[in-house]
Structure 1
Amino acid sequence: MDANAQFPDFAPLATLCQQSFSLPVAEAVPAAVTAPWCLTLLAVEVEAAQLHKLAEFLRECHWQPTAVDILAARPGCNVVRLQLDGDIAFNAARLALLELGLELGLELVLQQGHTQRAPKLACFDMDSTLIQAEVIDELAKIAGVGDQVAEITLSAMRGELDFQQSFRKRMRLLKGFTEASLAEIAPRIPIMPGAQRLLLALRALGCKTAILSGGFTYFAHYLQDNHLAVDFVHANQLEFDGGALTGGVIDPIVDGARKALLLQEIASDLGLSLDQVIAVGDGANDLPMLSLGALGIAFHAKPKVRAEAPQAIDGFGLDAALYLFGLSDGQISALLEASAQ
């Protein structure tokens, strides 16, 4: 049986997936996408009971699977892609699938079939997306104003301050922080698991990449120069005087609206339409750009952001986004080998 299994009804779904998992996924080429929708299932392990419940859900929704591909089948990461035909109202469907995924212990990501392809431009938030830290919070802790900065952040989350107001207040508290201290901190910032693999694979695919961050250019350029294959950087500039932060802000501040504007400007400069662009982020200020492209992936995001973003990945590394481009582990490995040559 071919790993790119075709099936006319729901009953064999679990059986077909189980049989396909026994095949050499690394050598399999995923089927061409011909259906209007794709549903990607990601799980540490996939059990027959989960697949039976998913099949029952699809039957009740009148969503017809037309093909199944196993994109990954290895310890700790199993990925199944279903092509679906049916009258699907996207917003209602993705929320229902988020709820079902929580119930079954799976991640279920819905997207239009034509978006199962490599993008031409990928835009990323930096803090808690490409790196495992919120830099401004880390600086505040070192400066001894961590609690004050945290309270301002909480106030912004409650809607009492917008991002620009909260950013200016937090920067004032960092007045006097030295550039020498920043240079010591930068090498210690942990990279998000999967970030380097994802960016190298995107470069091998010919995709341009951008950091669009409410953080700082100082750290974004450090990542670009030392760790991450990034083409463009847009973030907030730190203002120094005598080797220390002034506490001031250099306009324009990169907030959610500016991220969305920058994404559109970069795409226009590259001659790309928005359906050739994806965006990835974790915060509420990422939602404007997540709503623009072919895919808007909330990564390890808070429940509110996950519920509003078009797509979401929670329990895997950043490179799991490659499965939403229709790539199998074998194809991803080949891209990474090519990028190393």
Structure 2
Amino acid sequence: MKQRTLLITLTGPDRPGVTSRLFSTLASFPVNVVDVEQVVIRGRLVLGVLVMYAGGPPTGTGGTIGAMWAAVERVAEDLGMEVELATGTDTKEKRRRGRLHVTVLGNPMQPAALAGIAGRIAAAGANIDRIERLAHLPVTCIELEVSGADPLALRTALAAEAVLQQVDVAVQRSGLLRRSKRLIVMDVDSTLIQGEVIELLAGHAGCMDEVEKITSAAMRGELDFAASLRERVALLEGLSADVFERVREEVVLTPGARTLVRTLKRLDYRFAIVSGGFTQITDALVEDLGIDYSAANTLEVVNGKLTGRVVGEIVDRPGKARALERFARQAGIPISQTVAIGDGANDLDMIAAAGLGIAFNAKPVLRQAADAAVNVPYLDTILYLLGISREEVEAADAEDGLTPPATGSPLH
């Protein structure tokens, strides 16, 4: 006998017992549950149930299925809800190619932005299968599950729309890879921390302006990083090594940095930092945050004074990529399951080598090369690109006895 389907959609005020009441009613009839989806938005429930049964369409009031139809309508009436019923004969969901996660970050999120993103998805011949909010404050993050799109073509189209709408958009393939254990490798200056350590040192040496100009040109990719580093470090010659303690006290973490590290460590991620800065500062960050791996340059100190030279091989653009590969080997994690986060031209090779490269408030040269770009000042928004919601983070923090932030505030 031909198998038919009945899609039941209940809409109305959310309250305890709605789902139980509907399924208790369905349990009295010869149907099998094929699919269930439920969402609550501002206290309003939308519950969809797809059931399968044998026989003809449930028209009229006679017959078993006709009785089920009437029973469901009575349930909706009793609950003060609306019900919609639709029949069909195709019980197999067609799995479209190119299933993707599209993550949209806005601060604020305007309707025009979502209209533009949805329009680009439709123009690509793709379909939005599901939409979920991952965060509302201090930034809004909406995630769309999309099928039927070519990843590269859709990423290009949405990147252009993101610029027009002033939002951030990331496109990632769905599947087990997104949920698997990963290694996070992060730049330090202007990424994990606010500002540049060498500029803090230069402030104590009285050469801030000159160092800032060289740093900016290097981060834009206009100067060779190794040569620019030697030039800047030479200006620090004669500075007392006591300056390191003062600079460590001046370092300020980027908002959300502790939340990012704490949350990913809970999920058994490994965390690494790789820096064109200096071990005299990064070693303290490693201890403070519980970082697993680190690589940075070391300033030479003789008789308590900086010599204006760097000891050993410089951690430059290729060196950062080599560090990522080394950390992945040590952690036993494939390169495809690594995430690299940076802000300047010195991070280009590392971003290219990682499974997912993220530009964080980055220079244009890096934004164009990265898989995703984040341009809000909260480092924990990286969690949303990994499918982790703010509500999940807050719940985990509460279980550990951490004080939740005030409404609308960034996470700690």
TM-score normalised per structure 2: 0.71
Q: Offset at 1:306?
A: 0.8
Structure 2 matches for 1:30-69, cutoff 5 A?
A: 36-69=99-132
Q: Offset at 1:322?
A: 0.7
Of 198-207 and 49-58, the range deviating more from structure 2: 49-58
1:22 to 22, 30, 42: 42
Of 193-202 and 324-333, the range deviating more from structure 2: 324-333
Match of 2:297 in 1: 236
Letter aligned with residue 212 of structure 1:
V
CA deviation map 1:118-159 (0-9, x unaligned): 542111100000100111122113211223323433554676
2:376 to 299, 312, 315: 315
The alignment covers a number of residue pairs equal to 314
Match of 1:6 in 2: none
Of 129-138 and 62-71, the range deviating more from structure 2: 62-71
Q: Offset at 1:76?
A: 2.8
Match of 1:81 in 2: 143
Cα 1:118/1:215, change in 2 over 3 Å: farther
Match of 2:194 in 1: 132
Letter aligned with residue 94 of structure 1:
R
Structure 1 or 2: larger helix share? 1
Larger Rg: 2
Cα 1:336/1:151, change in 2 over 3 Å: same
Q: Offset at 1:210?
A: 0.7
Cα 1:65/1:160, change in 2 over 3 Å: closer
Q: CA separation in 1, counterparts of 2:215 and 2:233?
A: 12
Verify: 1:72 aligned to 2:135, yes or no: yes
Verify: 1:305 aligned to 2:366, yes or no: yes
2:344 to 283, 288, 291: 283
The question of whether the paired residues in 1 share the 8 Å contact of 2:359 and 2:367 is answered with: yes
Cα 1:82/1:155, change in 2 over 3 Å: closer
Q: Offset at 1:338?
A: 5.1
The question of whether the paired residues in 2 share the 8 Å contact of 1:200 and 1:336 is answered with: no
CA deviation map 1:155-176 (0-9, x unaligned): 5467664111111111111111
Cα 1:104/1:241, change in 2 over 3 Å: same
Structure 2 matches for 1:1-341, cutoff 5 A?
A: 21-22=41-42, 36-73=99-136, 75-90=137-152, 92-114=153-175, 115-117=177-179, 119-153=181-215, 156=218, 161-226=223-288, 228-337=289-398
Letter aligned with residue 22 of structure 1:
R
Cα 1:164/1:204, change in 2 over 3 Å: same
Cα 1:163/1:55, change in 2 over 3 Å: same
Cα 1:20/1:88, change in 2 over 3 Å: farther
The question of whether the paired residues in 2 share the 8 Å contact of 1:95 and 1:307 is answered with: no
The question of whether the paired residues in 2 share the 8 Å contact of 1:205 and 1:335 is answered with: no
Q: Offset at 1:340?
A: 5.8
Q: CA separation in 1, counterparts of 2:217 and 2:375?
A: 26
Higher relative contact order (CA 8 A, sep 6+): 1
The question of whether the paired residues in 2 share the 8 Å contact of 1:67 and 1:82 is answered with: yes
Partner of 1:69, secondary structure, is strand
Match of 2:35 in 1: none
Q: CA separation in 2, counterparts of 1:146 and 1:48?
A: 44
Partner of 2:311, secondary structure, is coil
Q: CA separation in 1, counterparts of 2:184 and 2:396?
A: 17
Match of 1:14 in 2: none
Cα 1:315/1:102, change in 2 over 3 Å: same
CA deviation map 1:206-243 (0-9, x unaligned): 111111111011111112223x2311121001110111
The question of whether the paired residues in 1 share the 8 Å contact of 2:99 and 2:149 is answered with: no
Partner of 2:193, secondary structure, is coil
Q: Offset at 1:336?
A: 3.1
Of 233-242 and 331-340, the range deviating more from structure 2: 331-340
Of 158-167 and 248-257, the range deviating more from structure 2: 158-167
Partner of 2:396, secondary structure, is helix
The question of whether the paired residues in 2 share the 8 Å contact of 1:267 and 1:277 is answered with: yes
Q: CA separation in 1, counterparts of 2:294 and 2:212?
A: 26
Structure 1 or 2: larger strand share? 2
Cα 1:321/1:20, change in 2 over 3 Å: farther
Cα 1:272/1:155, change in 2 over 3 Å: closer
Partner of 1:167, secondary structure, is helix
Structure 1 spans left out of the alignment, 5+ residues: 3-18, 25-33
Letter aligned with residue 183 of structure 2:
L
Cα 1:44/1:147, change in 2 over 3 Å: closer
Q: CA separation in 2, counterparts of 1:59 and 1:218?
A: 52
Q: CA separation in 2, counterparts of 1:82 and 1:99?
A: 18
Structure 2 spans left out of the alignment, 5+ residues: 1-9, 12-38, 45-96, 403-412
CA deviation map 1:226-283 (0-9, x unaligned): 3x23111210011101111111111211011111111111111221111221111111
